[in-house]
Amino acid sequence: MTTVLYIAGTGRSGSTVLAAVLGEVEGVFAAGEVRYLWQRGLVEGRLCGCGVPVAECPLWSAVLATVDASGPTLPPAAMAEVLRRGGRVRHLPRALAGQGRHLGGSVATPVEAALSRLYPAIAAATASRVVVDSSKLPSYAHLIAGLPGIDLRVVHLIRDPRGAAHSWSSRKALADGARRPHMEQMGPLKSAALWDVWNLAAARLLGGRRRYLRLRYEDFVADPAAAVRRILSLVGMDGARPPFDAGGAVNLSPNHMVAGNPDRLRSGPIQLRVDARWRSAMPARDRWVVSAVSAPLLVAYGYPFRTRTAGGLESTVLDRVPVNQGGAARFARRVRRHLHWARSEGVGRLVEEDELNPATKLRVALEKRRWRRAHPRPAGTAMPVYVVGLQRSGTNMLTRGLDRAPEFEVHSENDRVAFDRFLLRSDQTVARIIARSRHRFVLFKPLCDSHRVDALLDHVPSRTPGRAIWVYRDVDGRVRSALSKFGRNNLLVLADIAAGRGAGTWQAQRLPAAAMKEISGFDYRTMTPETAAALFWWVRNSLYFELGLDRRPDVMLASYDDLLSDPRAGMRAICSFLGLAFRPELVAHIAPRAAKRAGLDLDPRVRQLCDQLQDRLDTTLRAQRQGRAA
């Protein structure tokens, strides 16, 4: 018997993350939404969780070869078609009435025969005791429950329908090779109706089983270890350990989840948090519609009928845009929402949302893929390029420009493959990323590791020697930008360092004695956030000289303000440093504008330090330009 743990429920209920977490338990394999293996994986050629098309994934290839070898099968398109027809909503009444397939342990069709061989093949190929299938559809669970050799256990995952509806109404980029750039969207009425139908069907079709567990997404996130323990007990693995560390974080390794939410393509440590954005972002009217349509089940599952709006202002700021509203209004709204995110969700969110347009993202990804096909090159020859400097200094703008060149593979600090909470992962991991790349350049943006860029250049092995670009920005511009994004953060950090509490933070690494002395000489109880942000600018940018980067031919200095005032000239200089042909699309996203240098009111000593350093940076920049021109 193969034990299959089925996650049943509606879309946008957190099933992908639950499956991924379970997949981290020893002996459990997260297979993804197996129902879509044929349609999305084989017919549409979409990506496995491991990042390659399913047909090229070694694991799924081996599994499918076993299934093919052990009996007759249908072509993928035919499998997909039969499964699609069987899952339709209009077939539900028959299934609920106990008709349709359910012969209990026998195989009536070629599709069922193939499925009854598939799950044992998955378990064998992955040497696992339990296969997690997060297909969600209750009718499909009903189908496989009746197959011989399969011991089905069901987790019925339920999420507050207002949270699910809000998620359905928001755009989420697919980026798994699908022809559509986004996951399917639907309005509140439709998603609430679907929530009713699927949950009712799951309860009716599967709820009578002995091996059935109902779990609310909100309870799972509130105490994930307890929820995982209950599930493990459901599959007879009472002794197994939930995969969380003492702080409740889980480290997701790369997986082979087939189909489903694009989140499965991510790996790295995560901290589960309730996604309660709907509480502030969902219009009251939509919330009311969803509550009304799902009222009976809503109450049965223990959710309150009435919900409070989180804060009066937010609900007006974030009301959804009426469909007929013009582009300018939409844009203004997007900006406001962006600012709101920045305030409420912190830096991580902002970095993540920085490239606003998912369509652009997808186009860039496709161009890169096309480039790799057209320019096959052996892995391991890419040049690592480190873009460093201080936060809010234009490194995003530069990185985004270079990202438009398909020669570049880009890892920004929100990329979990290369980064862990904004810090670059180990040298070995970075070396592995470089060695695996089939691009000409692998760009990393390790701003929080800028103080060790010399070590990265010297010690991370790569066949093509690496290069670094140190980006700086006029101090007043940087201070304004930093204050609006990080508030008083620089002040708190410097106060900590001065008080000897900085050990272990990236901000305090490799501080020269002179910098330490300056930092200790100020009174942080009276310092303004502006002065602190300027002092921090001085501390971090001083490293460029302190580390001797100005004397290294493999490090280039670049100025954000220059790039703004003459984007083409600035980008040409960077291209020639990297040996890349310049083309206009690299700067198409930059609107040329003169940099303003309106002086902020700073502490005179800090102003003096910054002025001196700014002069020194500007002088070095000019010298480098002349050196290259000569």
- In the complex, minimum distance from the CB of residue 267 to Zn ion, in angstroms, rounded to a whole number: 12
Tokens 């001196």 locate to 612
Tell me whether residue 57 or residue 469 sits nearer to Zn ion (CB atom): 57
Per CB under 5 A, the list member of 156, 256, 392, 467 interacting with Zn ion is 256
d(CA 146, CA 101): 8
Tell me whether residue 57 or residue 613 sits nearer to Zn ion (CB atom): 57
- In the complex, minimum distance from the CB of residue 265 to Zn ion, in angstroms, rounded to a whole number: 10
Q: At what angle do helices 15-22 and 224-234 cross, to 10 degrees?
A: 70
Question: Which is nearest to 409 in space by CA: 386, 434, 439?
Answer: 439
Question: Which is nearest to 258 in space by CA: 95, 45, 400, 74?
Answer: 45
Q: Name the amino acid, one letter, at 17.
A: V
SS3 271: strand
From residue 44 to residue 83, the character string flagging contacts with Zn ion as x (rule: CB under 5 A) and all else as - is ----x-x------x--------------------------
Does 237 help bind Zn ion (rule: CB under 5 A)?
no
Tell me whether residue 119 or residue 303 sits nearer to Zn ion (CB atom): 119
> H or E element: which one contains 243?
none
Alpha-carbon separation of residue 196 from 78, 157, 158, 301, 316 (angstroms): 30, 13, 11, 12, 29
Question: Which is nearest to 303 in space by CA: 192, 137, 211, 202?
Answer: 192
- In the complex, minimum distance from the CB of residue 594 to Zn ion, in angstroms, rounded to a whole number: 50
Q: Name the amino acid, one letter, at 263.
A: D
Alpha helices in 415-555 (DSSP H): 427-436, 453-459, 475-486, 489-498, 513-520, 529-546
User: Residue 441's beta-bridge partner residues?
Assistant: 383, 408
- In the complex, minimum distance from the CB of residue 41 to Zn ion, in angstroms, rounded to a whole number: 10
**Residue 192, phi then psi, degrees to nearest 5:** -70, -40
C-alpha dihedral sign at 614, 620, 622, 628: negative
Give, as ranges, the residues between 32 and 51 that touch Zn ion (CB under 5 A).
48, 50
**DSSP letter string over 388-405?**
EE-TTSSHHHHHHHHHTS
Tell me whether residue 59 or residue 390 sits nearer to Zn ion (CB atom): 59
- In the complex, minimum distance from the CB of residue 255 to Zn ion, in angstroms, rounded to a whole number: 8
- In the complex, minimum distance from the CB of residue 467 to Zn ion, in angstroms, rounded to a whole number: 33
d(CA 74, CA 64): 12
- In the complex, minimum distance from the CB of residue 178 to Zn ion, in angstroms, rounded to a whole number: 16
Tell me whether residue 176 or residue 476 sits nearer to Zn ion (CB atom): 176
Q: How many residues make contact with Zn ion (CB under 5 A)?
A: 4
- In the complex, minimum distance from the CB of residue 256 to Zn ion, in angstroms, rounded to a whole number: 4
Q: Are 160 and 126 in contact (CB under 8 A)?
A: no
Q: Are 34 and 6 in contact (CB under 8 A)?
A: no
Q: Name the amino acid, one letter, at 112.
A: E
**Total residue length of the chain:** 630
Tell me whether residue 63 or residue 237 sits nearer to Zn ion (CB atom): 63
Tell me whether residue 38 or residue 472 sits nearer to Zn ion (CB atom): 38
Tell me whether residue 41 or residue 384 sits nearer to Zn ion (CB atom): 41
- In the complex, minimum distance from the CB of residue 51 to Zn ion, in angstroms, rounded to a whole number: 8
- In the complex, minimum distance from the CB of residue 278 to Zn ion, in angstroms, rounded to a whole number: 32
Question: Which is nearest to 25 in space by CA: 220, 219, 253, 217?
Answer: 253
Q: Which residues contact 586 (CB under 8 A, 6 or more apart)?
A: 401, 402, 404, 405, 571, 575
Does 447 help bind Zn ion (rule: CB under 5 A)?
no
Tell me whether residue 48 or residue 130 sits nearer to Zn ion (CB atom): 48
Q: Which residues contact 26 (CB under 8 A, 6 or more apart)?
A: 240, 241
From residue 485 to residue 514, the character string flagging contacts with Zn ion as x (rule: CB under 5 A) and all else as - is ------------------------------
Binding segment for Zn ion among 21-29, 86-94, 201-209, 254-262 (CB under 5 A)? 254-262
Tell me whether residue 48 or residue 547 sits nearer to Zn ion (CB atom): 48
Tell me whether residue 50 or residue 527 sits nearer to Zn ion (CB atom): 50
d(CA 493, CA 98): 65
Tokens of 338: 């962006």
Give, as ranges, the residues between 338 and 367 that touch Zn ion (CB under 5 A).
none
- In the complex, minimum distance from the CB of residue 144 to Zn ion, in angstroms, rounded to a whole number: 21
Tell me whether residue 46 or residue 162 sits nearer to Zn ion (CB atom): 46
- In the complex, minimum distance from the CB of residue 48 to Zn ion, in angstroms, rounded to a whole number: 3
For 183-207, b/e burial (b = at least 16 CB within 10 A) is beeeebeebbbbbbebbbbbbebbb
Q: Which residues are at the interface with Zn ion (CB under 5 A)?
A: 48, 50, 57, 256
